[in-house]
Chains A and B, each alone.
Chain A
Amino acid sequence: QKEVEQDPGPLSVPEGAIVSLNCTYSNSAFQYFMWYRQYSRKGPELLMYTYSSGNKEDGRFTAQVDKSSKYISLFIRDSQPSDSATYLCAMSQAGGSYIPTFGRGTSLIVHP
């Protein structure tokens, strides 16, 4: 079992839909949780970052962490075609080198 599990999709939704992207993990020592967005033929870029449990909101994006269930989510409201990309979750432990472990990424397609 991989430390971080993420459904690769693709997930196809109509414009304006609410999108839910999820990752599960097995390492209870993870404390830092990140979502990266990767457009085609580009490197990933950090979208959201959360420390420990709770919610974080930034515009149309909300990140949630449930450490008791070892489950993190990214919600996108009012999705746009420009949101079409691969979304990668990443997480790291506190201490040491804080090297992030990535999920496989979920491909999202928002069609007009």
Chain B
Amino acid sequence: DVKVTQSSRYLVKRTGEKVFLECVQDMDHENMFWYRQDPGLGLRLIYFSYDVKMKEKGDIPEGYSVSREKKERFSLILESASTNQTSMYLCASRLPGGQGNTEAFFGQGTRLTVV
């Protein structure tokens, strides 16, 4: 059974803190994604990693960075948390894109509140 695991379901952090969100997949997928999901805005891509140590900025990378040192793990880092980063964060993984390889498998999400 395929699995994408996010380290926390709920997090509460203070403004200015450095925050780490961890994601691990057990499917040997090359591609991994970080999205944030907000009411009325849907899923917005923060960063995409197409392989170990490889990354691309998504639509809203400002205030975030990522790390992919091992194939199975993709970390999202909020350098200095702000209240407008309060959101649901979703990690996903996938085989490289192409016909027949388009399904992304999502974790259960981390609901982050910045106070």
Contacts and interface: CB of A to CB of B under 8 A. Distances in A.
Contacts, number: 57
A60 to B, nearest CB: 20
Interface size on A, as a range, is 20 to 34
Contact of A99 (B40, B45, B99, B103): B45
Contacts of B101: 98
Given A41-B109, A43-B109, A97-B48, A88 B97 contact: no
Contact of B97 (A41, A42, A51, A92): A92
Given A46-B104, A97-B97, A105 B109 contact: no
Interface string A70-112: 0000000000000000001000100011111011110000000
Nearest to B109: A43
A13 B104 CA distance: 29
Interface residues of B, number: 27
B97 A102 contact: no
A8 B40 contact: yes
A34 interface: yes
A100 B104 contact: yes
A61 interface: no
19 contacts: A8-B40, A32-B102, A34-B103, A42-B109, A43-B92, A43-B109, A44-B43, A46-B104, A49-B102, A49-B103, A96-B97, A97-B56, A98-B98, A98-B102, A99-B45, A99-B48, A100-B102, A103-B42, A105-B42
Given A45-B106, A49-B103, A99-B97, 6 more contacts: A42-B109, A43-B90, A43-B108, A92-B97, A98-B98, A102-B42
